[in-house]
Structure 1
Amino acid sequence: MKNPRSCSQAELFSMINQVSFAVNDMTLYLDTHPDDDDAMAYFCENTALRKELLKEYAARFGPLTLDSDSENCRQCWDWVMQPWPWEGVC
């Protein structure tokens, strides 16, 4: 995987989408296979990666989610004033 710090906004957004899909897919799988240790490890690894990517995106381009907003926002709802990912650049 490419270094997130050297990615463009569109590349970083794409990486977040891919990892988010993996996390969501593993959530569904683990609902029916809760004792699969390999799946749980994969889920934890991708959840941590997703959190890191969201933090990087928020620091550089503004937050995508409310949970990635808390460290980067000076006023409570400033994040909504940022350009949305689909506006222009992405």
Structure 2
Amino acid sequence: MNPRHQVQLLRQIQELEFATLELNLFLDVQPQDQQALAMYNKLQSELMQCVRTYEQAYGPLLNFGFSPNMHDYWKWVDSPWPWEIKY
């Protein structure tokens, strides 16, 4: 494990989550804006790739839902958890 890489990936995920959420809110009031929709789709794809990369290297970000158990044990209990990492 590379702690510096882990922090970089977490920050990238946070940035992409923020941007996609903001675009989501914008599209709620401007649903016909094709440029915003294209940007949302691009950033959402990048976000999902970053999450997959992070989870393959460092374990799940969530204990339910989008983080399937791809190992032969319950990896969620491994430390540190994403919110325990010191930035």
TM range (shorter): 0.7 to 0.9
TM-score in terms of structure 1 length: 0.79
**In the alignment, structure 1 residue 38 sits paired with structure 2 residue 14:** no
Task: Give the Å deviation of 1:38.
Answer: 0.3
The separation in 1 between residues aligned to 2:16 and 2:43, in whole angstroms, is 6
Task: State the number of aligned residues.
Answer: 82
What is the CA distance between 1:8 and its match in structure 2? 0.6
Deviation at 1:70, TM superposition (A): 1.5
RMSD over aligned CA atoms reads: 1.9
Q: Which runs of 5+ in 2 are unaligned?
A: none
- 8 Å Cα contact 1:30/1:39 also seen in 2: yes
Give the corresponding residue for 2:84.
87
Could you tell me how far apart the structure 1 residues matched to 2:14 and 2:33 are? 24
Q: CA deviation at 1:63?
A: 1.1
Gaps (5+ residues) in structure 1?
Answer: 1-6
Q: After the TM superposition, list the runs of 4 or more consecutive aligned residues in structure 1 that deviate by more than 4 angstroms.
A: none
TM-score (norm 2): 0.81
In 2: Cα distance, 1:88 partner to 1:20 partner: 18
- Secondary structure class of the residue paired with 1:52: helix
